[in-house]
A and B are shown apart, each in its own frame.
Chain A
């Protein structure tokens, strides 16, 4: 595809429900990131993959958050037992390389609303 694709664009979940958010990075991109963006705030880092390896998960707010990228391409961010404070836009970004600077391309995000 031409860019980073995220699905669904919008998700409404009842409190306590599990959700799965999908990210299709640009084909061949080694690096993949997940960010969380609360209303009126800048994006906050959640986790980073280099190919299938999750090298940094320091930003995941609790053990209810889990991310995977099993084949080094598509990634899924899973949130278990959603809470109202999980309501945010979840952004995925990919970069062509793992080392050195290359531009990060972001998807449009998934807006999660927990009711």
Chain B
């Protein structure tokens, strides 16, 4: 699975959009980009994933550059409850004997009141 690079921490004002970047310059054509987050003392929670098209769901939007070497997770109106560590993970579509997710250290997003 391709390696990802994320900033260790970011701040965002409550009510504003939070834009979390992720670099994955070695991504290959069959690898998806997944985002999970982990709120303090909880297990990770799935947010969104995509291959090459931009994706949106009720939680967030995922913007993937045309060359697929980087992506941005957008939380449109951050709230204090969005304070968490956000993980960007790149992997092939699930299949075969193992389906593990490989987490890095992620980005700690602190939403400020």
Contact = CB atoms under 8 A, between A and B. Distances in A.
Interface string A86-97: 000001010101
Interface of B: 32, 41-46, 49, 85, 87, 93-95, 97-106
Given A95-B99, A101-B32, A106-B43, 10 more contacts: A4-B43, A33-B99, A48-B98, A91-B44, A93-B44, A102-B94, A104-B46, A105-B46, A107-B43, A109-B42
A99 interface: yes
Nearest to A109: B43
B31 to A, nearest CB: 12
B43 A42 contact: no
B45 A42 contact: no
A44 B101 CA distance: 9
A45 B95 contact: no
Interface size class of chain A, counting residues whose CB lies under 8 Å from the partner chain: 20 to 34
Nearest to B49: A101
B34 to A, nearest CB: 9
A108 B97 CA distance: 25
B99 A31 contact: yes
A108 B42 contact: yes
Contacts of A33: 99-101
A98 B94 CA distance: 8
Chief secondary structure at chain A's binding surface? loop
15 contacts: A42-B85, A42-B104, A42-B106, A43-B44, A44-B103, A45-B101, A56-B98, A56-B100, A93-B44, A101-B32, A104-B44, A104-B46, A106-B42, A106-B45, A109-B43
A55 interface: yes
Contact of A106 (B44, B98, B99, B106): B44
A1 interface: no
A103 B42 CA distance: 17
A58 B43 CA distance: 22
A45 B100 contact: yes
